[in-house]
Every structure is written in C-alpha cells, then in structure tokens.
Structure 1
C-alpha cells in the first residue's frame, strides 16, 4: 500500500511540475542598456542546408525594425566584413564586442544560430522545419541583454480530414515534394521563425525599442 501511495504522489508531483508556469525573462540588463541600434551578424548555420544562413539573415531586419530598433543595413555590414577579409560567420561571431563597436558604432549586436533548416520527405507527407536561436549583447559593456528561440513548421496547418483517402494523400505529398524542389520552402518558414523569435509584444520576447510608440510601456512579465 505504501508503494502505491508513494507512486501516486510521484505521478502527481510530475504532473504539477509539467503544468508549472514558464519563468518570465529577466529584462533588467535590457532595460538598463536601452539600445537604439542593433548590428545583426551573419547567422551561424548548424544545419546541413547551405541556404540556411543567408535565408535567415534576410528575414531578421523586419521584425527588429517593427519592434522599434534601428538595424544596420545588412548589405553594408556584409560588405564591411568582406573588405576586412571576413567571410565566415564563425570568424565574425568570434570578434570581440569592443572591436564590433569600434567598427560599426552600434549599441548592441544580435547573434543568431540556425539550428534546423530543411525539408524531411516521407511516403505520404513532407515537413519543412526551421529552428533558430538569437542572443542580444550590449556592445558597450558586453552584457547579455536578451536571448530567445523559435521554431516553425510547414506541417502546423496540415489538414488531416483526408487521412482515410490514401490516393489523395499520395497525390498531395507528390505535389508538395515537387513544389519544394522548385522553390526553397525553408525561406518562407524561416520568415515565420524569425518573426516568432524577434517580434516584440509577446511573453519573454524582445522588448519594444525607442522607435516604437509602445517603448517603455510593455510589461511582458505579466
């Protein structure tokens, strides 16, 4: 009987732990820093797809700008690195914050990693998934200001109503696979991932910047 009670208590504890509210992000350093301009570095690509880094880089500026920050033009930043013999994202990420601040004069730098990017093909379906992480660091002090992670998948809105019609499923899968080979569906999904990760106004997301009318008014800890 004691074993049954102990087992029941353990199961209840695990269930309560699983239902625990997520921990709010500590925005102390970000609020203290008050960055106005952000330098976005070329993402480090940890996926096997060579398009992942450039694809994600083109998607980062918009959500940050809409959040109220000035983002240094990506093309200008890229050309500056090339003129200094830096073409690999890993080498660029290894530069000191002091050096980056000296060259670009921005308040903060955004480090991005593409963890997952690409399409998985199965017999009757395919799924394109993009996962990325982002870290914002103060270029003046080197302090960590904010970090986040997001994922998006093409299968999120799949309609399973025709799950009993195998022929229809096979045709749909074939069409999706042909379409994916013609265009880079990962680029579209990367845009969704980027917006989820870098848009302001959601729980544990980045705070609104000084160019936003909501600057200083968002309390994302509630």
Structure 2
C-alpha cells in the first residue's frame, strides 16, 4: 500500500500546478517600448464616451502629474489644447486625428498619449452615490506610429448610508446638491491613474528622468 502512496500525491501536485498555471497572468510585452523608449510625451485631451460634459478636461487635469512622476517630460496640456484649437482642431475627436509626424516636427515629442474616457461621473441612488472613472490609453511613437504601450483602468468611490433613514435621505440630498456644483469624479481619476500607470503590473515603465529608470526586471 505504501508503495502506491506517492502516485496520487504526485498526481495531485501536478493537478494543482496545472490549475495554478491557468491563473497566471501573461506578462505585458514591452518589446516595442524598449525599441523606441520615449523621453517626452504629449497628452491629447481625452475622447469622452461618457455622458459627463466635464469629463474631458476634468480627467485631463489629473493625468500630467503621474506621467511626469514616472520620469517623462510632459508637454503642458493647456498649451497643447490651445495650440491645436488655434490650428483648426476644436474638439478632442479632431485632435486625435492629428498626423503624428507633424507632432514630431512641430513639438519634438517622442510619443503621444491617446486617452479615451469610457465612464466618468456620479451615479445617484436614493441613499447613496458612486463616483466612477473608467479609462483606456494608448502610447504611440510619433516617428514610427508604433504602439508602445496601452492600458486600462477603473476606480470608484461610494458614499453609503448610516442606517438612519431620515438622516440618510437628508445627507443624500445634500451630497447630490454639492456634487452638482463640484466634480467628485476628479478625485476618483487620481485613483484610476495610480492603478493605470503603476510600474511592474503591465503599467507604464519608468522614464529616463526617474531614479528607477532601467531598474525594472
């Protein structure tokens, strides 16, 4: 009997290993990124697929800092936005059609970050509200039009009730009134960005102005 014991144990180990292998996330392929590593990035105003009119510039105001902190020179987004509008591209959709070789010639940017907002804003229920941001991005080399990196992220933040129905109804009404004059999704955008650009998890690799440059596995 003892001689047979190792057989099922070995089978169990093999089965567990196979299951573990199925759950392993495939590493992101950074081949193109390493072939054309950018030093400077130009961020275009986001395409807004959400119903929130404030989404484009609400999110745009949060994206420069995390990219710059990753070690890249980021062109001032307000200057880029104004320049493109003055040159016949008044909407984000038109800006996203700009020829990348012209971007390289005029600005010297190594890469362009294209941003699309899938969802931006708040959802209100009787006793609570939830601010949600869903975003996807593509980083493209301006000289070769090669896709260097892409990512997707989402984040949300909810306010929940206390259990006191009357107090919760009053609080919910106040929150909705305040949020109608502010932009709660602006704060949530920072959470989405933290996940989106986080290096080491299919995120954006560190750039040449970061102490972590070329130290990633």
The count of aligned residue pairs is 200
SS in 2 for 1:182: coil
Where do 1:1-222 residues align within 5 Å?
20-155=23-158, 162=162, 164-198=163-197, 200-219=198-217
Larger Rg: 2
Take 1:204 and 1:59, find their aligned partners in 2: how far apart are those partners?
20
Quick one: distance in 1 between partners of 2:78 and 2:129?
33
- Taking structure 2 as the reference length, the TM-score comes to 0.84
Equivalent pair of 2:56/2:117 in contact (CA under 8 Å): yes
- Indicate the SS of the match to 2:180: helix
Worse-superposed segment, 57-66 or 187-196: 187-196
For residue 178 of structure 1, report the CA deviation from its aligned partner: 2.4
Quote the offset at 1:169 in angstroms: 3.4
Question: TM-score, normalising length from structure 1?
Answer: 0.83
8 Å contact from structure 1 (residues 56, 194) kept in 2: no
- Quote the offset at 1:79 in angstroms: 2.1
Partners in 2 of 1:68 and 1:176 — Cα distance?
38
| Distance in structure 2 (CA, Å) of the matches to 1:126 and 1:55 | 19
- Mean Cα deviation higher: 46-55 or 73-82: 73-82
CA deviation after TM superposition for structure 1 residue 192, in Å: 2.0
Q: How far did residue 116 of structure 1 move?
A: 0.2
Shift of 1:174: 2.7
SS of 2:53's partner is coil
Contact 2:200 2:216 in 1 (8 A): no
Instruction: For 2:69 and 2:100, locate their aligned partners in 1 and report how far apart those are by CA, in whole Å.
Output: 25
Per-residue deviation at 1:47? Answer: 0.7
User: Is the 8 Å Cα contact of residues 150 and 197 (structure 1) preserved in structure 2?
Assistant: yes
CA distance in 1: counterparts of 2:111 and 2:181, whole angstroms: 38
- Structure 1, unaligned runs of 5 or more: 1-11
Looking at structure 1, the residues matched to 26 and 215 of structure 2 have their Cα atoms a distance apart, in angstroms, of 20
Corresponding position of 2:10: none
Q: Check conservation: 2:85, 2:91, Cα contact below 8 A.
A: no
For residues 127 and 40 of structure 1, the distance between their equivalents in structure 2, rounded to whole angstroms, comes to 28
Distance 1:169 1:25 in 2: 45
* CA root-mean-square deviation: 2.2
